[in-house]
Amino acid sequence: MRLDKYFSRKRVLELESDSLEGCLKELIKSCNASFKDLGRKKNLLSGLLRREATMTTYLGNGVALPHLRIKMKRRYVFAFGRCKVGISHDGPKKEEKIHLIILMLAGESTQNYLKVLADVARLVKDKAFIDDLVGTPDLDALCDELLLGFGGMQATAAKRSESSINKLIFNQAMRIAKGANCDFIAVFGDVMSSDRLNPHEGFADFKSILVTKRAKEGKVEASSFDNIIQVRAFSKGRLAQTRSAFLVGITRGIIGVNDKICCVGGIPGSDQFDTIVVIDLRSEFRALLADQESFLPPDILPEVLERVIGIAMELSVEGREGHTVGTLFVVGATKAVEELTKPLVLNPFYGYKEEECNVLSPFMDETVKEYSGLDGAFVIRGDGVLISAGTLIHAPEYLHMLPSGFGSRHAAAAAVSVATECLAIVVSASNGQVTIFRNGIALPLMEKSFDG
């Protein structure tokens, strides 16, 4: 979603206060100057501070995202403040100073509030992007960087020269794609250490996809790619994001289960494309799809699956407090799943508002990771609401043979995915492998390998 239309140069500030409360006052004042009706709302500051006291809005990388839903006709109002010196806060990472504050006000009737929060949070997790924002020399340059980052595909960038080998690879990819009757060409953009990428002009004959971990989509040529799939990579291997990226593409409806894709990649950060692979999605996902035309059960939102997979991959790589973590997420078909479960501990999500315990909220990431150490599974509704944690899955006996190395979590995931129309995502405690189950069939999304 493009968010730049909600930004204004008038609401991009160099903050003068040395406290979070003072900075919020400055940002609210800039919003009131733009929209007079906001000036009549006396509870903005108190509402923001009350939320801050309940749960910190600090996201890491020196960024805070205070937010509030209020009664107003507009969908969103954003204000952006920078403090190069840094502001102290009372969150769990007190040693990190806040350098950037993004104030987000949303109308009470706005439907996709949590998704926008998640989009903003995903963008600011790119440390290189944040460093660029903090380091810009003046507000005009800061505003330009913001518009690039939050403007999606609309910003343009200068073309960069291609190496002769990259040109050769792109030429051959185009020929192979034609010969293999491919529907798409997918370029794995993290091969380039620069933010700018200018694929071969012959790719215009195909529908094109850029697969990248970068949040700064604005620095990609607007006309070059029909779609961008943003997927984090936790391996230096060639085409390491393939399965997770195409699974995201299928769930979003960008690509179809019968499509054939020509992939162009190389070693991330090498600036050298050296690999061409043709993938037939029907063959790649045959076991998972069986006779179905859609991988995603009807009650699960694509962005919820993306978020859960993202959390699972982060747990796989980061672990928790220096230790490896194994956990299980059961997503969708909640009523049927709850009939096959019983609590092992008191439910930590009981009694909270649904908005406050939704995986789409970026402020739930640390909470989910903290509870990942509990025995049992997370049960998550298809719209992202966390129903329970520490839940025992007691599904009917699963008679199929599981691959060697799979343990009790994998067996429970396979069984519950057969008994109900859910998806189950497992993080292995032994090797960090992330596996998704559908109808009892396993698809490894990531193996914990960093040497590529």
The alpha carbon of residue 109 and the mean position of all alpha carbons in its chain are separated, in whole angstroms, by 24
Residue pair 440/240 in contact by the 8 Å Cβ criterion: no
List the one residue out of 10, 41, 50, 42 whose CA is nearest residue 27: 10
Q: Which helix (H) or strand (E) holds 54?
A: helix 44-54
pLDDT of residue 398: 63
Please give the Cα distance from 123 to 125 (Å, whole number). Answer: 6
- Give the per-residue pLDDT at 157: 37
Helix (H) or strand (E) holding 187: strand 184-188
- pLDDT tens digits, the chain, 452 residues: what are they? 556 667 778 888 898 888 888 999 999 898 888 888 787 777 888 888 888 887 788 888 888 888 888 888 888 888 999 988 888 877 666 778 888 999 988 888 887 788 888 878 877 777 778 888 888 888 888 887 877 777 653 333 333 445 788 888 888 999 999 999 999 999 988 888 755 565 566 677 788 888 887 654 444 444 467 888 877 666 677 777 888 888 888 888 888 888 899 999 998 888 888 999 999 887 777 666 555 556 788 899 988 998 898 899 888 888 777 778 899 999 999 999 999 999 999 999 998 888 889 998 888 888 898 899 899 999 999 999 999 999 999 887 666 677 777 888 999 999 999 899 999 999 988 888 889 998 888 888 765 543 43
Q: For position 202, what pLDDT does the model report?
A: 63
Residue 156, pLDDT score: 35
pTM above 0.75, yes or no: no
321 phi/psi in degrees, rounded to 5: 55, 40
In whole angstroms, how far apart are CA 286 and each of 42, 282, 291, 422?
A: 57, 5, 8, 18
Q: What is the DSSP string of 322-363?
A: TB---EEEEES-HHHHHTTEEESS--TTTTS-GGGGBTTSGG
| Residue 79 parent element (H or E) | strand 76-87
Q: What is the pLDDT at residue 276?
A: 93
pLDDT reported for residue 1: 52
**Helical (H) or strand (E) element with 128:** helix 127-135
SS3 299: coil
Within 10 angstroms of residue 219's Cβ, the number of other Cβ atoms is 19
